[in-house]
Amino acid sequence: MNVFLLYLLLLKATITSFSGLSSLPVVQHDLVEHRRVLTDRQLSAAVAAGRTAPGPNGSYIVSVGYFVAGIPGACAGCLAVMSPAFLIIFMLRYLGARAERRDVKSAIQAVTLAAAGLIVTSTLPLARDSITGPLPAAIAAGTFLFLTLTRRATIWVILAAALAGLLGALV
């Protein structure tokens, strides 16, 4: 795949999202379903790599770029993650005081809800690919319950899942 086209596709994903993983549906549609240059398994691995590394949640885009086009693709992904931060300066200058208007706030809330819905629909194929047996299903259910019922750091989830995986491998 052309690295410039990859950059534009990844830029589209990052620029139309409010947080790191809300770009996931766009990436999945463009690179997994439409162009077929990435598999669901590779996308899952990229998300896992991006979530375990320190930094912004959207850093999985760099791994996606690497899976698609190697080192040049990773550079394109890195640029796609950084570009919106530079573009927001010009957008804030243009929007200025308009961001305080009620209709602008309502539009932002609507886009946020739409992004949440897209994230839910895009996680289903990733979950289907990742949950391959009873142990991964138990880890996923335990993680969901832990994160929804407590306000603990995700590091505890990572450590518990790693421990459960190690114990499952020994048994």
Q: pLDDT per residue over 142-166, tens digit each?
A: 888 888 898 888 788 888 888 888 8
Name which of 39-53, 58-72, 108-122 the model is least confident about.
Answer: 108-122
Domain spans in the chain, listed from the N-terminal domain onward: 3-115, 131-171
Q: Which residues contact 61 (CB under 8 A, 6 or more apart)?
A: 10, 13, 14, 23, 27, 46, 50, 77, 78, 80, 81
Residue 119 is predicted with a pLDDT of 75
SS3 19: coil
Q: What is the mean pLDDT of residues 2-15?
A: 93
Residue 18 is predicted with a pLDDT of 65
Tokens 């200025």 appear where?
Answer: 96
Q: Which of the given ranges, 15-24, 40-49, 116-125, has the highest pLDDT on average? A: 40-49
The pair of structure tokens assigned to 81 is 């993650």
The dihedral through the CA atoms of 170, 44, 81, 96 has a sign that is negative
Q: Which residues contact 44 (CB under 8 A, 6 or more apart)?
A: 126, 129, 130
Name the nearest CA neighbour of 30 among 46, 49, 43, 19. Answer: 43
Q: Which residues contact 127 (CB under 8 A, 6 or more apart)?
A: 140
pLDDT bin (cut points 50, 70, 90) of residue 70 is very high
Q: Quick one: DSSP state of residue 16?
A: T
> pTM here?
0.63
Q: pLDDT per residue over 97-145, tens digit each?
A: 565 677 777 877 787 787 777 777 777 777 777 788 888 888 888 888 8
Round the average pLDDT of the chain to a whole number and report it: 84
- Give the Cα separation of 2 and 157 in Å (integer): 38
Check: CB of residue 19 under 8 Å from CB of residue 89. Answer: no
Q: What angle do CA 3, 5, 8 make, to 5 degrees?
A: 110
